[in-house]
Structure 1
Amino acid sequence: MRNQYNLKHERKLLYVVQIKTLPNIKLIITWAIVILQLITMSQTMNAQIQPAQNWHMPDLSNIPLQNASSGDYTEIKDSIPIRGTEFLIRVPNNWNGILLNDLDYRRSADSQRNLLLLKKGYALSGTARRPERLKNYDPAHEIHDLISVLDIFESVFGKPKKTIQLGCSGGGTVTLAMAEMHPDRIDGAIAGCASTSPWMANTHLDGLFVLKALIAPDLPIVNLPLTEPEISNIGKQWQKAIKEAQKTPKGRARIALAITIGQWPAWGGPGKAPIPEPDPNNVRDLQESMYQSLLKLLPSKQTFGTSMLEQAAPGQLRWNTGVDYQESFANGDTLYKVAVHKLYDEAKIDLKKDLKKINSFDRIKADPKAVKWWSSPGRTHLGKPKVPLLRINTSGDALVYPTMAQGYKELVRANGYSDFFRLVYVNRWGHCSFSLSEWLAAIETMVQRIETGHWPRTDPESLRKLAHSLVSDSEARFYNQREVKAYNRIWTPTVQDYLGQNK
């Protein structure tokens, strides 16, 4: 049986032929690449294409790649061996030489953003998230898959002039790691609402720990089951406890304290915002927003993000041994702390006593095997980007809290890598809820940084103007985020962590 596919890119025809095998003879597969130059070709596509020669290149010998040409672009759509990760590549006829690589491209290829980028001349590539990801999450494997896609792209279309890795949520997670680990494969990176998994797990733990210590000491916050009806029953108990607490001045004060210590956003969560964004100077409105947001973040089958991290590693990941919660409160949002003090005064309870009670409450220890697993390259971040990295975060992201993005900025600065890094915020409820114009402004900013070697202006006003110039009817809400004094949960692995020897 003969398998053949033809790829059309501008005026070039590329033939890949899978050679017929004879019975009773070992399978012999070869790639034959024949380039037919018809008329004048761009300098980018002039060089003969050679298969990538590194360990990231998957064995494609038994994969008859499927392609399609719409007349405007060429498409390769298939799966990578070993893990079976689906991938997609599209290269427009008017390719500008820039490739955008995205963890979620396979599923989002026909989105408004990606179709517009294709029309503008960008090539796009990437993968789909694997179905078993919930119980077998490994960002290091996702990075390997993304590099395999880059290898496939280069073997067929040649090396791009510039490659930008981008993505949101888990896609932002691997983007941060790609910027730190693979400056040989990408020229820039855009990470949206990107988590560092151990940071996210522990930041989420802190707020729940305060609630457990002061409001619901008998309810679990770690080792949560992902099975029914167990997880729903736990969720109902947490909802009941918090709703009861909200009815009293004492409970309202302690809810505000939990949000402040946890460095969670007072206005943020999944779905649609239940109330308008509060004035942070209005204590009543601010506390009500904290409560409404908290209801969406309590343990339940809808909030399994950090439980997913524990499913991945061999053991419980979260820990708060050695954490001083008085210091954590001192590092909190200035206006949130003002509200906490007023609420505690109104409730006639002692804030210092509650902080001491939290500090004396039984601590949670991580399994050293889990910490060791998450210490491996690609599974956490070190704050050392080797290529230009633009990080964007929504203010109302209650999965990857904006304080985590601030913490990464602090770590980058401490490591001396600030010239490579910029952080911008968008004032909007939700996780990865960026508008079309905001995404395009981020991409254009990165292109300018790569091409000129200098960052263009990234202040909110400049980014809003840029966004509106690219898509006039799309909302652009870049703004100056009020940051906390310091992010509480920066962590980078020690030698003992790598060896699994920390107790």
Structure 2
Amino acid sequence: MLDQFDLKNERQLLAVVQIATFPNSKCIITWGIVFLQLIAISQTIYAQVQPTQSSQNWHMPDLSNVPLKSDSQSDYTEIKDSIPIRGTEYLIRVPNNWNGTLLNDLDYRKSADSSRNLLLLKQGYALSGTARRPERLDNYDPAHEIHDLISVLDIFESIFGKPKQVIQLGCSGGGTVTLAMAEIHPDRIDGAIAGCASTSPWMANTHLDGLFVLKALIAPDLPIVNLPLTEPEISIIGTKWQKAIKNAQKTPEGRARIALAITIGQWPAWGGPGKAPIPEPDANNANDLQESMYQSLLKLLPSKQTFGTSMLEQSAPGQLRWNTGVDYQVSFSNGDTLYKAAVQKLYKEAKIDLKKELKKINSFERVKANPKAVKWWSAPGRTHLGKPKVPLLRINTSGDALVYPTMGQGYKELVKENGYSDFFRMAYVNRWGHCSFSLSEWLSAIEIMVQRIENGVWPKTDSDTLNKLANSLYSNSEARFYNHREVKAYNRIWTPTVQDYLGQ
């Protein structure tokens, strides 16, 4: 273990951590944290480096943001190592001017030199977290990621003492574990900020609904579940889907059906990976809205680039998605008001009966989940129950077509139903992409959470207040919080039943 430590400078803090996590347990069991030696702990001056630009990656948030225009230096102590039980790499940095607050992030090891994290370090925040494990795509388990994050907190406290307050934050998969930490580990954190956070079964089923409509009405012979992630099989499937949707877009009937699929699926009409293909449409203009739906859909069809939900089925024993018992007429009625208006107009222009189409979808052969997969995803840490026990701020971009904004609304609805609304706030950012938050937007979210923890009450979180706060904290970064138009109700809220836990 000693040769695994990588502390800059020759003066090292040596610590050995042995942690055993049993896959079926609900907690992490720490066998011991044993200090072998403290050798002249010194805080080394690190030159502030410019962040490298992250490559476009749909599944790893880009935290580069706006480069800092400062030549100043930051004094901090750094600990970099790996957790023995799974080999998860972690990183801890504590500045000389530590303000007592620790920010813990699933992706910190890889994003430590981002503009956001360098600025937070300079402002006195300690930061810690892990890197995503290399085998994550084939062996994804957010419960194990939570165990790793708890391990990092244990290591931090053993070396630096207990922080005044701990804020768990993260985006994408980091947001997923943040939601779970707020629900099941209120003893370890004081607040949480979840960006574009998925609840895996919700995401899988919401993604299924849009594809199911397309299969029922446009491409009944093409697959939507049990998709291979190997080449050339997945590319062949992707090419066939692209051809089917492009052909559909050439006809009034096809355009109407594409709009119906997006509306029933509660997918954003403007959203996807990479750069936006067209400007955000006027949702009151049915033709412009449909064109945006089509352009976005082309980026979301099954392919090797859209494996976000397929990876959920690689980790669990069996196919996760299901739509048994779903009434798609109700699903349509729960959709976005302006999307529904566009669908009705397009169907009228195409001279086809919308009610008959909905009946056809409802009569189409359903997708059944493997009970073993549902059981696996029912475990604590792998799903969410809508019961945060510490202040939780959830933020989502409007153009996120991986973790749909409607999922955030669904979580808010579940929190309200459970009586936990005092702990929860939701904010939306009007921007294309997944986890495409600006530096100032992150800073305002963190400041809001600090105020909530320290004062015991939420400050204002309306869009105007958040934008003003963001601009006051960092004026060289765009803040685009806005009043998001929500759907009537999110279609795919799910919490495990006894039968789900038993795998029945």
TM-score greater than 0.5 by the shorter chain: yes
Aligned-pair distance for 1:70?
2.5
Query: What pairs with 1:351-500 in structure 2 (closer than 5 Å)?
Result: 351-500=354-503
Alpha-carbon distance in 1 for matches of 2:188, 2:122? 24
> Is the partner of 1:132 in helix, strand or coil?
coil
Choose from 13, 19, 29 the match for 1:55.
29
Choose from 238, 243, 249 the match for 2:241.
238
1:312 aligns with 2:315: yes
Alpha-carbon distance in 2 for matches of 1:2, 1:441? 40
Choose from 250, 263, 267 the match for 1:247.
250
Aligned-pair distance for 1:16?
4.9
Relative distance call for 1:56 and 1:166 in structure 2 (3 A) is farther
Q: Which residue of 1 aligns with 2:203?
A: 200
1:69 aligns with 2:44: yes
Choose from 99, 117, 122 the match for 2:120.
117
Alpha-carbon distance in 1 for matches of 2:36, 2:408? 43
1:174 aligns with 2:177: yes
Query: In percent, how many aligned pairs have the same letter?
Result: 83
Alpha-carbon distance in 2 for matches of 1:67, 1:409? 46
User: Is 1:4–1:64's contact at 8 Å kept on the other side of the alignment?
Assistant: no
1:147 aligns with 2:150: yes
Alpha-carbon distance in 1 for matches of 2:139, 2:15? 36
Alpha-carbon distance in 2 for matches of 1:224, 1:67? 52
1:220 aligns with 2:223: yes
User: Is 1:4–1:17's contact at 8 Å kept on the other side of the alignment?
Assistant: no
What TM-score comes out, normalization by structure 1 length? 0.89
Q: Deviations along 1:238-257, whole A, 9 cap, x unmatched?
A: 00000000000000000000
User: Is 2:4–2:81's contact at 8 Å kept on the other side of the alignment?
Assistant: no
Q: Which residue of 1 aligns with 2:276?
A: 273
Query: What pairs with 1:259-298 in structure 2 (closer than 5 Å)?
Result: 259-298=262-301
User: Is 2:13–2:37's contact at 8 Å kept on the other side of the alignment?
Assistant: no
Alpha-carbon distance in 2 for matches of 1:75, 1:495? 45
Aligned-pair distance for 1:367?
0.1
Alpha-carbon distance in 1 for matches of 2:42, 2:3? 12
Alpha-carbon distance in 2 for matches of 1:6, 1:232? 41
Alpha-carbon distance in 2 for matches of 1:240, 1:199? 28
> Is the partner of 1:76 in helix, strand or coil?
strand
User: Is 1:3–1:17's contact at 8 Å kept on the other side of the alignment?
Assistant: no
Alpha-carbon distance in 2 for matches of 1:63, 1:83? 24
Q: Deviations along 1:400-435, whole A, 9 cap, x unmatched?
A: 000000000000000000000000000000000000
Alpha-carbon distance in 1 for matches of 2:236, 2:6? 56
Q: Which residue of 2 aligns with 1:25?
A: none
Alpha-carbon distance in 1 for matches of 2:250, 2:77? 60
Runs of 4+ in 1 over 3 A off after TM superposition: 1-8, 13-18, 56-68
Aligned-pair distance for 1:388?
0.0
Alpha-carbon distance in 1 for matches of 2:35, 2:95? 26
1:323 aligns with 2:326: yes
Alpha-carbon distance in 2 for matches of 1:434, 1:343? 34
Alpha-carbon distance in 2 for matches of 1:173, 1:361? 32
Relative distance call for 1:162 and 1:241 in structure 2 (3 A) is same
User: Is 1:225–1:231's contact at 8 Å kept on the other side of the alignment?
Assistant: yes
User: Is 1:6–1:16's contact at 8 Å kept on the other side of the alignment?
Assistant: no
Alpha-carbon distance in 2 for matches of 1:64, 1:139? 34
Relative distance call for 1:62 and 1:155 in structure 2 (3 A) is closer
User: Is 1:259–1:290's contact at 8 Å kept on the other side of the alignment?
Assistant: yes
Relative distance call for 1:16 and 1:215 in structure 2 (3 A) is closer
User: Is 2:15–2:37's contact at 8 Å kept on the other side of the alignment?
Assistant: no
> Is the partner of 1:292 in helix, strand or coil?
helix
Alpha-carbon distance in 1 for matches of 2:4, 2:214? 62
Alpha-carbon distance in 1 for matches of 2:466, 2:253? 43
Aligned length: 464
Alpha-carbon distance in 1 for matches of 2:228, 2:7? 48
Alpha-carbon distance in 2 for matches of 1:447, 1:4? 35
Q: Deviations along 1:28-73, whole A, 9 cap, x unmatched?
A: x99xxxxxxxxxxxxxxxxxxxxxxx82466668999999832600
Alpha-carbon distance in 1 for matches of 2:342, 2:386? 33
Q: Which residue of 1 aligns with 2:93?
A: 90
> Is the partner of 1:70 in helix, strand or coil?
strand
Aligned-pair distance for 1:473?
1.3
1:108 aligns with 2:111: yes
> Is the partner of 1:441 in helix, strand or coil?
helix
User: Is 1:100–1:165's contact at 8 Å kept on the other side of the alignment?
Assistant: yes
Alpha-carbon distance in 1 for matches of 2:374, 2:239? 30
Alpha-carbon distance in 2 for matches of 1:121, 1:337? 49
Relative distance call for 1:158 and 1:217 in structure 2 (3 A) is same
User: Is 1:4–1:16's contact at 8 Å kept on the other side of the alignment?
Assistant: no
> Is the partner of 1:78 in helix, strand or coil?
strand
> Is the partner of 1:423 in helix, strand or coil?
strand
Q: Which residue of 2 aligns with 1:24?
A: none
Relative distance call for 1:77 and 1:483 in structure 2 (3 A) is same
The structure that has the greater radius of gyration is 1
Q: Where does the alignment leave 5 or more consecutive residues of structure 1 unmatched?
A: 19-28, 31-53
Aligned-pair distance for 1:82?
1.1
User: Is 1:449–1:455's contact at 8 Å kept on the other side of the alignment?
Assistant: yes
User: Is 2:33–2:155's contact at 8 Å kept on the other side of the alignment?
Assistant: no
Q: Deviations along 1:335-365, whole A, 9 cap, x unmatched?
A: 0000000000000000000000000000000
